């Protein structure tokens, strides 16, 4: 074998090796992005479920749950009241309208059956609701308080992921971590939109 054939064979092997390393590097990045997207989708779903539970808690108690234990007890034992609203409009002699509104309580439904029924969430597990997917068992951080806005006191809450899996969300002390609600505004929106 002459020198040119040996060098050609060596360069072919090196080219194949470098091609594999390049493919493997791109494939690893794509797989990691898929894994992050799937994990964040599961986190968002849980944050939406926790938001629904917080809104039901607030409707029943006039404030938001401050911790997981309080919210969990409400989900297990709380009730959502079914209320029927009836409006009657009567036209008065001088052309004005008089509206009478009546509220009638028809009954109640357990929170767990209303918000987390088997049809909507077939694999629902109340104990796992607070655990952040892909975190190794870490729980969501809860915050609830009242803040003053325009001389009114409003209730606020925030539930957030304490340890984001996405490196972009970990910047500046987890500033962009997935969360629902706000510590300063009367918002119940999530920051993933």
pLDDT computed for residue 111 by the predictor: 85
pLDDT computed for residue 176 by the predictor: 78
pLDDT computed for residue 103 by the predictor: 87
pLDDT computed for residue 126 by the predictor: 85
8 Å CB contact between 108 and 124: no
Mapped onto helix, strand or coil, the DSSP state of residue 147 is strand
Helix ranges, the chain (H)? 3-61, 68-77, 111-115, 171-174
Q: How many CA atoms lie within 13 A of 133 on its CB side?
A: 17
Q: What is the pLDDT along the chain (193 residues), one digit of tens a residue?
A: 688 888 888 888 888 888 888 888 887 778 888 888 888 888 889 999 999 999 998 888 888 888 888 988 998 888 888 888 899 988 887 878 888 999 888 888 888 888 888 888 888 888 888 888 887 888 898 888 888 888 888 888 899 888 888 777 777 777 778 888 888 888 888 887 7
pLDDT computed for residue 177 by the predictor: 81
Shortest CA distance to 118 belongs to which of 188, 92, 141, 110? 110
pLDDT computed for residue 189 by the predictor: 85
The residues, any chain, with a CB within 8 Å of residue 69's CB and separated by 6 or more, are none
pTM of the model: 0.76
Measured distance CA(126)–CA(111) in Å, rounded = 12
Beta-bridge partners for 152: 149
Measured distance CA(177)–CA(192) in Å, rounded = 9
8 Å CB contact between 105 and 34: no
- The H or E element spanning position 82 is strand 79-91
């Amino acid at each position: 074998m002459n020198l040119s054939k040996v060098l050609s064979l060596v360069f072919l092997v090196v080219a194949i090796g470098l091609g594999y390393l390049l493919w493997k590097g791109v494939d690893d990045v794509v797989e990691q992005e898929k894994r992050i997207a799937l994990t964040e989708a599961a986190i968002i779903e849980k944050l939406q479920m926790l938001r629904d539970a917080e809104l039901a808690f607030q409707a029943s108690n006039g404030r938001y749950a401050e911790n997981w234990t309080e919210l969990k007890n409400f989900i297990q034992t709380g009730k959502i009241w079914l209320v029927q609203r009836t409006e009657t409009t009567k036209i008065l002699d001088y052309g004005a309208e008089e509206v009478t509104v009546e509220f009638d309580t028809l009954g109640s439904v357990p929170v767990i059956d209303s918000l987390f029924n088997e049809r909507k969430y077939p694999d629902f597990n109340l104990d796992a609701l607070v655990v952040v997917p892909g975190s190794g068992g870490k729980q969501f951080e809860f915050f609830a308080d009242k803040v003053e806005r325009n001389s009114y006191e409003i209730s606020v809450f925030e539930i957030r992921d304490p340890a984001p899996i996405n490196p972009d969300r970990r910047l500046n002390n987890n500033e962009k971590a997935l969360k629902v609600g706000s510590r300063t505004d009367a918002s119940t929106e999530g920051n993933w939109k």
